[in-house]
Chain A
Amino acid sequence: MRYAMAVDTKKCVGCSDCVVACQTENKVPIGYCRDWIVEVTDGTYPQLEIEIRSERCNHCDNSPCVRCCPTGASHYADGGVVLVTHEACIGCGACIASCPYDARYPHPDGYVDKCTFCLENRVQKGLNPACVSVCPTKCLYFGDLDDPNSPVSLVLKKRKWKTLIPEAGTDPQLYFLV
C-alpha cells in the first residue's frame, strides 16, 4: 500500500478551503497550518500563465525527516504516510531543518507537527483526508498507488504530472497535475 495525493493545478483556484478544513478537522492552532497554497505567475501582461498548488507534506518515500529524527518519533506509518509520535518527539527541530518543502512546524505544545494525510482520524475509517473531501473544485485526489483503480492512480495514468524538487532525492508522493 502506498498512499499518495494528486493536486490538479488546472482546477485549483487557491481558495484555501483545504487549509481551513485541515485546521478545524485536526485542531491546528490558529496561526499555524499543515497545508498551504502557492500561486506562481509567469510572464508579462497580457501574456501570462498561472499555476496554483495546494501543498502539504509530500510523504516522501525517502524522507529526510524520518532519517534525521534522533528518537524515531518521525516514522513511516501505514501506506508510507510519514507521521510524528508526539510522545517521542523532543522538539529538536532537525526534521524541520531537513524538509526541503518546509512542511513541518513546531507545535506550540512542543512537538513537531505536520500533515498526516488524516491517516488515523479519517483514512483508516474509510474517509478521504479533510482537505480532499472539502475541496470545492475537486482538484485533490487521494488513494493507494498500489491499487490501479484508486482515484489517484487513475488520474495519474490519465494526466501529465510533476512532483516538487524531485532532484532533492526525497521521492515525494504529492503529485501535481499540470
Chain B
Amino acid sequence: MKTTRRQFIKVSTMGAGSLAVGASIGKWTRASGLLGELTAGTSTPTRTPTYCEVCFWQCAGWVYKDEKGEIQKIVGNDDDPHCNGRFCPRGTGGVGQYTDGDRLKTPMIRTKVDGVDSFREVDWDEALDYIASKLKDISSRYGPECVALFTHGSGGAHFGHMLKAFGSQAVTAPSFAQCRGPREVGFLTTFGDIIYSPERTDIRDTRCLVLIGSHLGENMHNGQVQEMSDAIDKGASIITVDPRFSTVAGKSKFWLPIKPGTDMALLLAWMNVLIENGWYDKDYITRYAHGFDQLKEHVKKYTPEWAFGITTLAPDLIRKTAKEMFNASPAVIIHPGRHVTWYGDDTQRLRAVAILNALLGSWGRRGGFYQPEKAKVPDFPVPPFPTPKHQPTEAYKGKYNLANEVVSNGICDATIPTPDQNCSYKVWFVNGTNLLAALPDQEQTIKALEALELLVVIDTMPVEITGYADVILPECTYLERYDMLRKSGHREPNIAIRVPAAQPKYNTKPADWIAKNLAEKLGLGAWFPWKNMEELLDWQLNQVGSSLEEMKRIGVKKFPRQHDDLYFAPGEDIAFNTNTGKIELYSTDMEAEGFDPLPVYTAHEEPAEGFYRLIYGRAPMHTFSRTANNPNLTDLMDENTLWVNPKVAKLWDLKAGQYVKLKNQDGKVSTFSIKVRVTERIRWDSVYMVHGFGHNNKKLSRAHGRGINDTELVTNVKIDPVMGGTGMRGNFVTFITDFETTGKEAES
C-alpha cells in the first residue's frame, strides 16, 4: 500500500465521478466568490493593511483596490522599519499570488480510481473529518509525537499551535538547517546571541560592508538592500567575496574573486593580518573577549601568502582589504549572510566571521550589529499544552546539540524507518514550503514521504509536494486573510497587522480557520477559545494599548524601546550569554561538544575534469520556488539561465541562448533543460543558476518545465556535524547538449 499510495499525481482529477463532484463544487464556489466580490466592492475602505508573505522579510504595506473593487496594487507602509514605505519587486508583484488562476481551489483527497492514484475534490468538512479520523487512529498507535509540521511563513503559527495542542512539538522550518542555521549557531557560540530575521546588521550607518558570498541586491532582503543603498550614498566601502561577479560586486570597492570553497582560508588570513598588525579593537577585546591569546597563536600560520595558494587571492589584496575593514571599525560588518549551508563546516566558517567581527569590535556598535528589541504582546490565554513523551530533538539524539532550532532534515531522516530508529514520524503537515525544492537530496525526501501514513499539504499553489499529499488543503493567500501579528525585533519595537483585502477566492480558507476547525474536530477546541481572528487580535492589541480598529487604520505601530541598549555604551560592562560570559573567540561550547574550539581550514571537494561547481543563488524578482508561477513576477523572469564563463562555453561549443541539460557527479540528470547565458560574470570552474525554477507540475502553467531545479542536482549533501545543516555546494555538473526536448526549449 505504501509505495503506490505515494505515487506522484500529475493530473488533477480523474474519473467521471470525481469530475462531477468537482464541477458542482466549482459552480457553488464561483457563485459565492462573486457575492464576496460584490459586497467587498461596496463596503471596503480604500486601503487595507497587510504584511507581505512573498518572503520572510514580511514588509508591512497597504493593499489598494481599483474602482471596480479589484485588488490593484500593494505599496509599502511608510512607518514600517522593514520596508520604509518601499516594497521590493516581489512584494509589489504579490498581487499575482492572488490573481494566479493556477491556485489550489478546493480540498482534495487521494483516492484510487481503477488502480491509479488520483485526487478527488471534496468539501472542507469531509477533508477535515478525514484528517481528524486518520490523526486519531495514527496517534492511538504511535502517540501524538509522531506528527510533524514543516512550515515556512505565517501559517506556521496556526498549525504549530494546533500541533502543540495535539501533543507534538515537532515544528520545523527549512529556514534553519537548509539556510541560516550555521550563522545562528556560529554567532550564538561566540556572542551568546543570534542574528535574527530581519538581520540586526546596522548597514545604514556602516562604513565598510563585507559580504562573503552574500549577494545583497539579488537577494532582495528589503531593509538590508535599502540600507546598503543608503550606505553607498554615505560613501561606505563594500568588499565582496564571491567567485561570481554579483550585482553587489559591481558596486564594491574590492571584489575578491575567490576560488569557491576556500572562504575559510581567507577569513583566517584576515584574522592573521588584523592580529599581526595590531589592527583590532584592543580595548574591546580585553574587556569582552575570551581566548584571544589562543586565537593569536592559532592564526599565526595562516598568512596571506598561505591563503593565496588556496584562495587564488593576492596577499596584497588580502592585506589591503583587512586594512580597509580596520579603518572603518567599529562601523564595519562582516556580514553573516543568510543561506550559509555550503560545505558542511559552515558553523565553523560563521564562527570565523563572528570572530572577525569581534576583533573589529563591531558587535554592539553603531554601523556594526545593533541589539534588536521586540514588542511584547501577550498570547491569548489557553490551557497549557500537553507535554510530549519525547521531544523532536530525539529524532537525532546525540547529534546537533548546539542546534537552537529543530533540524528539518533530522525529522525527514527520522521518518524513514531504520532498524535503530525508534522515533519515526508517521504524519507530516507541510505548509507553505515545497520540500522537494527546499530539502536537498530529493531521493531521501521522497523515501520519507513514502514512509508516511498521512501527508497533509496546505498551500496556495499546486507545487510538487502537493503531488505526494494524501490531503491537499487550499489555503487562501495572505491578501485574503488575517494572521497573527508580526512582531519581529528591530531598532524600534513594532507590530504590524494583516487584514484581508478581499474574500478568499475559490473554495480556499485562511490558515487560522483550517487550524481551528481541524482542532475542533480533534476535540482540541479548548486551545482555540476565540471566536475568530478579529476577536483574538483585538484582545491581544488591547493588552498593548491598541485595538483592531486602530491597527486597521495605521497598519504598523511602533513602541518605545524598554531598554536603552541599541549599542553598547562606551566602556560598558556586558555579560554575554556564553559559558564564560564573554565573547568566546575560543568557544567552550564547541570544545565541550568535541569540535574545534577555534576554526580551522578544511579543503573541500573539487570538480573532476569536465565538471563545474554548481553554484545557485537568488534573483530579486523571485522567492525560492514559491513565486515561479506568479503572473506578475514570471513576466519579469520566467526561467533561470545557466551562467557559463566564455572560456567554458568555447570549450564545450555552447552558444548563448542554447538549451542544455545538466548531469551531476552522481549521474543524476536534470529533468528539464536550461538556457545558457555566456557571461564573464562567473568563474571558469563554476556554473551558476538562480534557485527555484524547473517546476515539474503541469498545473503550474507558467512555471512547468521552465529552467532547472538546482535542488534535484544536489545529491551530495555535506552535513554540518555541529547543527545538522545540509551543505549543498559540493555538487558538480557537466553539460548534456543532446537530449529530447521537454521544457522551455521545446517552445523556442
Chains A and B in contact, CB within 8 Å? yes
Given contacts A24-B73, A45-B645, contact A15 B88 (CB under 8 A): yes
CA distance A152 to B633 in the complex (A): 29
Q: Is B621 at the interface (CB under 8 A from chain A)? A: yes
Q: Is B635 at the interface (CB under 8 A from chain A)? A: yes
Q: Is B229 at the interface (CB under 8 A from chain A)? A: yes
* Partner of A134 from B92, B229, B620, B679 at Cβ < 8 Å: B92
A83 → chain B closest CB, angstroms: 21
Assess the B92–A137 pair: CB atoms within 8 A.
no
CA distance A15 to B672 in the complex (A): 26
Assess the B86–A20 pair: CB atoms within 8 A.
no
B interface footprint on A21-64 (CB within 8 Å = 1, 0 otherwise) = 10111010011010000000101111011101000000000000
Assess the A20–B679 pair: CB atoms within 8 A.
no
Q: Is B369 at the interface (CB under 8 A from chain A)? A: no
Assess the B636–A50 pair: CB atoms within 8 A.
no
Interface size band for A: 20 to 34
Assess the B680–A16 pair: CB atoms within 8 A.
no
A interface footprint on B524-542 (CB within 8 Å = 1, 0 otherwise) = 0000000000000000000
- Find chain B residues with CB under 8 A from A11 CB: 229, 232-233, 251
Assess the B620–A16 pair: CB atoms within 8 A.
yes
Q: Is B289 at the interface (CB under 8 A from chain A)? A: no
Assess the A48–B635 pair: CB atoms within 8 A.
no
Assess the B680–A43 pair: CB atoms within 8 A.
yes
Assess the A136–B621 pair: CB atoms within 8 A.
no
Assess the B250–A24 pair: CB atoms within 8 A.
no
Assess the A30–B86 pair: CB atoms within 8 A.
no
Q: Is A79 at the interface (CB under 8 A from chain B)? A: no
B interface footprint on A144-161 (CB within 8 Å = 1, 0 otherwise) = 000000000000000000
A interface footprint on B83-94 (CB within 8 Å = 1, 0 otherwise) = 101111100110
Assess the A10–B635 pair: CB atoms within 8 A.
no
B96 → chain A closest CB, angstroms: 8
Assess the B250–A48 pair: CB atoms within 8 A.
yes
Instruction: Name the residue on B nearest A24 (C-beta).
Output: B73
Assess the A19–B89 pair: CB atoms within 8 A.
yes
Q: Is B222 at the interface (CB under 8 A from chain A)? A: yes
Q: Is B72 at the interface (CB under 8 A from chain A)? A: yes
- Find chain A residues with CB under 8 A from B679 CB: 41
Assess the A20–B92 pair: CB atoms within 8 A.
yes
A42 → chain B closest CB, angstroms: 9
Assess the A20–B633 pair: CB atoms within 8 A.
yes
Assess the B225–A137 pair: CB atoms within 8 A.
yes
CA distance A48 to B66 in the complex (A): 45
Assess the A46–B245 pair: CB atoms within 8 A.
yes
- Find chain B residues with CB under 8 A from A164 CB: none
The count of chain B contact residues (Cβ–Cβ below 8 Å) is 49
Q: Is A124 at the interface (CB under 8 A from chain B)? A: no
* Partner of B635 from A31, A41, A136 at Cβ < 8 Å: A31
A47 → chain B closest CB, angstroms: 9
Q: Is B681 at the interface (CB under 8 A from chain A)? A: yes
CA distance A171 to B255 in the complex (A): 36
Assess the A48–B680 pair: CB atoms within 8 A.
yes
Q: Is B684 at the interface (CB under 8 A from chain A)? A: yes
CA distance A87 to B344 in the complex (A): 64
Assess the A48–B632 pair: CB atoms within 8 A.
no
- Find chain B residues with CB under 8 A from A41 CB: 245, 679-681
Assess the B72–A24 pair: CB atoms within 8 A.
yes
Assess the A13–B621 pair: CB atoms within 8 A.
no
Assess the B95–A136 pair: CB atoms within 8 A.
no
Assess the B73–A25 pair: CB atoms within 8 A.
yes
Instruction: Name the residue on B nearest A33 (C-beta).
Output: B635
- Find chain B residues with CB under 8 A from A24 CB: 72-74, 92-93, 95, 632
Q: Is A113 at the interface (CB under 8 A from chain B)? A: no
Q: Is B315 at the interface (CB under 8 A from chain A)? A: no
- Find chain A residues with CB under 8 A from B232 CB: 10-11
- Find chain B residues with CB under 8 A from A45 CB: 245, 257, 645, 680-684
A154 → chain B closest CB, angstroms: 13
Instruction: Name the residue on A nearest B92 (C-beta).
Output: A20
* Partner of B93 from A14, A20, A135, A138 at Cβ < 8 Å: A20
Assess the B621–A15 pair: CB atoms within 8 A.
yes
CA distance A118 to B602 in the complex (A): 56
The CB with the most chain A CB atoms within 10 A, among B74, B86, B683, is that of B86
Assess the A19–B636 pair: CB atoms within 8 A.
yes
* Partner of B257 from A13, A25, A46, A138 at Cβ < 8 Å: A46
CA distance A13 to B211 in the complex (A): 15
- Find chain B residues with CB under 8 A from A135 CB: 86
- Find chain B residues with CB under 8 A from A15 CB: 88-89, 217, 220, 225, 620-621
Assess the B245–A50 pair: CB atoms within 8 A.
yes
- Find chain A residues with CB under 8 A from B247 CB: 13-14, 50, 52
* Partner of A23 from B87, B230, B632, B683 at Cβ < 8 Å: B632
* Partner of B88 from A17, A27, A138 at Cβ < 8 Å: A17
- Find chain A residues with CB under 8 A from B645 CB: 45
Q: Is B631 at the interface (CB under 8 A from chain A)? A: yes
- Find chain A residues with CB under 8 A from B684 CB: 45
CA distance A137 to B251 in the complex (A): 12
Complex interface residues of chain B between 216 and 242 (CB less than 8 A to chain A): 217-218, 220, 222, 225-226, 228-230, 232-233
- Find chain A residues with CB under 8 A from B255 CB: 46, 48
Assess the A133–B86 pair: CB atoms within 8 A.
yes
CA distance A139 to B631 in the complex (A): 26
Q: Is B724 at the interface (CB under 8 A from chain A)? A: no
CA distance A30 to B87 in the complex (A): 19
Assess the A134–B87 pair: CB atoms within 8 A.
yes
CA distance A48 to B681 in the complex (A): 8
The CB with the most chain A CB atoms within 10 A, among B218, B621, B637, is that of B621
A23 → chain B closest CB, angstroms: 7
Q: Is B75 at the interface (CB under 8 A from chain A)? A: yes
Q: Is B76 at the interface (CB under 8 A from chain A)? A: yes
- Find chain B residues with CB under 8 A from A27 CB: 66, 72
Assess the A16–B89 pair: CB atoms within 8 A.
yes
Assess the A134–B86 pair: CB atoms within 8 A.
yes
Q: Is B248 at the interface (CB under 8 A from chain A)? A: yes
- Find chain A residues with CB under 8 A from B218 CB: 13
B324 → chain A closest CB, angstroms: 18
CA distance A138 to B95 in the complex (A): 22
Given contacts A15-B620, A16-B89, A24-B72, contact A30 B245 (CB under 8 A): no
Given contacts A30-B631, A30-B635, A48-B681, contact A13 B248 (CB under 8 A): yes
- Find chain B residues with CB under 8 A from A21 CB: 73, 75, 87, 89, 92
Assess the A136–B631 pair: CB atoms within 8 A.
no
Assess the B636–A20 pair: CB atoms within 8 A.
yes
- Find chain A residues with CB under 8 A from B225 CB: 13, 15, 136-137
CA distance A40 to B86 in the complex (A): 26
11 new A-B contacts, CB < 8 A, other than A20-B635, A45-B683, A50-B247, are A13-B218, A14-B247, A16-B620, A20-B633, A24-B73, A27-B66, A33-B635, A43-B680, A45-B681, A45-B682, A137-B228
**Cross-chain pairs A/B with CB under 8 angstroms, 11 sampled:** A11-B233, A13-B217, A13-B247, A14-B247, A14-B620, A16-B637, A23-B635, A24-B73, A45-B245, A136-B86, A138-B233
Residues of A near any B CB (own CB < 8 A): 10-11, 13-17, 19-21, 23-25, 27, 30-31, 33, 41, 43-46, 48-50, 52, 133-139
List 8 tightest A-B contacts by C-beta distance, closest first.
A13-B217, A50-B250, A15-B620, A137-B229, A24-B73, A46-B257, A17-B89, A20-B92
